[in-house]
């Protein structure tokens, strides 16, 4: 059987603001995002004579039509007037779920890019992003990857380049967060602090991440206090991070370090405490063929 492998990179919200709410209930966002090296691996195997199927290393994830990868594949081939291909996709999960790292969205973006390439469907990146909007709010960004200012409900993406160098520590609390529940809570929470995302982007373009993050904020963190988030962000800063915050709606917390040695030491200490913890770097793409 013919197989190809891809990496689906996690999404990190360096700064996040909620700017309003549409009549249909969707929240309007203003985010500064970056793709990071923590990734899922996806193996695409042609299976002549057998129907399209998905498997995963995580047992509780759906593998049928409710899976975002299935939805992405179905949307892609339907847009071309085709049936789902005779293919099996195996997902090796490393990005934790309910973390705010866009793991499911990254996998969906990977499916769009990989299947478009492998079956020579001829879709442009813009075409894939249009399809991605219908699958999930983070999927368009994961298709483009790298650094971007993301607004609207996630569909308005302004990519930019940054020479910034830093090391990330990502730490996952022992319990995740429901995105739906957190968005419901934000409607009744006071917006205590707002980021200056213009300044965040400006400093990142100059390769000054430490200056950029002086203007950053995640309104979900400051407006909906959480004891575990407070504890972890404080630990990361005490361990040498010059910035630490929640990503997305959580539950994952990240710290930015200038020194790799400090990041590794912090990661190991958190692992000793029983946390899922990883080091990562910014990457220039959302999806990459291995």
pLDDT in tens, 25-79: 889 999 999 999 999 999 999 999 999 999 999 988 889 999 999 999 999 999 9
138 is known as an active-site residue: yes
User: What pLDDT is recorded for position 25?
Assistant: 82
Q: Are 53 and 39 in contact (CB under 8 A)?
A: no
pLDDT tens-digit series, residues 126-180: 999 999 999 999 999 999 999 999 999 999 999 999 999 999 999 999 877 777 7
Catalytic residue among 11, 71, 93, 177: 11
pLDDT tens-digit series, residues 211-267: 999 999 999 998 888 899 999 999 999 999 999 999 999 899 999 999 999 999 999
Structural domains for the chain: 3-161 (3.30.230.10), 167-283 (3.30.70.890)
Catalytic residue among 93, 138, 177, 226: 138
* Structure tokens that stand for 190 in this block: 């006071």
Tokens 């004579």: give the residue: 49
pLDDT tens-digit series, residues 80-107: 999 999 999 999 999 999 999 999 999 9
Q: Which residues contact 72 (CB under 8 A, 6 or more apart)?
A: 108, 109, 111, 112, 131, 132, 135, 139
Reported confidence tier of residue 196, pLDDT bands at 50, 70, 90: very high
User: What pLDDT is recorded for position 1?
Assistant: 57
Q: Are 62 and 186 in contact (CB under 8 A)?
A: no
Q: ∠ CA 180-104-14 to the nearest 5 degrees?
A: 75
Select the more confidently predicted residue: 272 or 24.
Answer: 272
The total number of residues shown for the chain amounts to 290
- What's the chain's average pLDDT? 95
């Amino acid at each position: 059987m013919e197989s190809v492998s891809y990496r689906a990179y996690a999404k990190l919200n360096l700064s996040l603001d909620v700017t309003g709410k549409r009549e249909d209930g969707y929240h309007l966002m203003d985010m500064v995002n970056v793709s990071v090296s923590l990734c899922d691996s996806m193996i695409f195997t042609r299976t002549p004579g057998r129907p399209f199927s998905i498997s995963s290393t995580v047992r509780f994830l759906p593998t049928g039509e409710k899976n975002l990868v299935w939805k992405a594949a179905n949307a892609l081939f339907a847009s071309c007037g085709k049936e789902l291909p005779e293919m099996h996709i195996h997902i090796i999960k490393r990005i934790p779920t309910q973390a705010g790292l866009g793991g499911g969205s990254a996998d969906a973006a990977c499916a769009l890019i990989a299947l478009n390439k492998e079956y020579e469907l001829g879709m442009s990146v813009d075409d894939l992003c249009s399809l991605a909007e219908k699958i999930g709010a983070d999927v368009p960004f994961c298709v483009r990857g790298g650094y971007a200012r993301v607004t609207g409900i996630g569909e308005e993406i302004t990519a930019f380049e940054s020479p910034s160098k830093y090391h990330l520590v990502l730490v996952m609390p022992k319990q995740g967060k429901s995105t739906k529940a957190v968005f419901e809570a934000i409607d009744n929470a006071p917006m205590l602090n707002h980021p200056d995302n213009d300044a965040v982007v400006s400093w990142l373009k100059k390769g000054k991440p430490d200056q950029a993050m002086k203007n950053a904020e995640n309104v979900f963190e400051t407006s909906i206090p959480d004891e575990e988030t407070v504890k972890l962000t404080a630990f990361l800063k005490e361990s040498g991070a010059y910035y630490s915050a929640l990503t997305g709606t959580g539950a994952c917390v990240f710290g930015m370090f200038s020194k790799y040695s400090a990041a590794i030491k912090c990661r190991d200490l958190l692992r000793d405490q029983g946390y899922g913890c990883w080091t990562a770097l910014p990457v220039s793409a959302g999806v990459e063929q291995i």
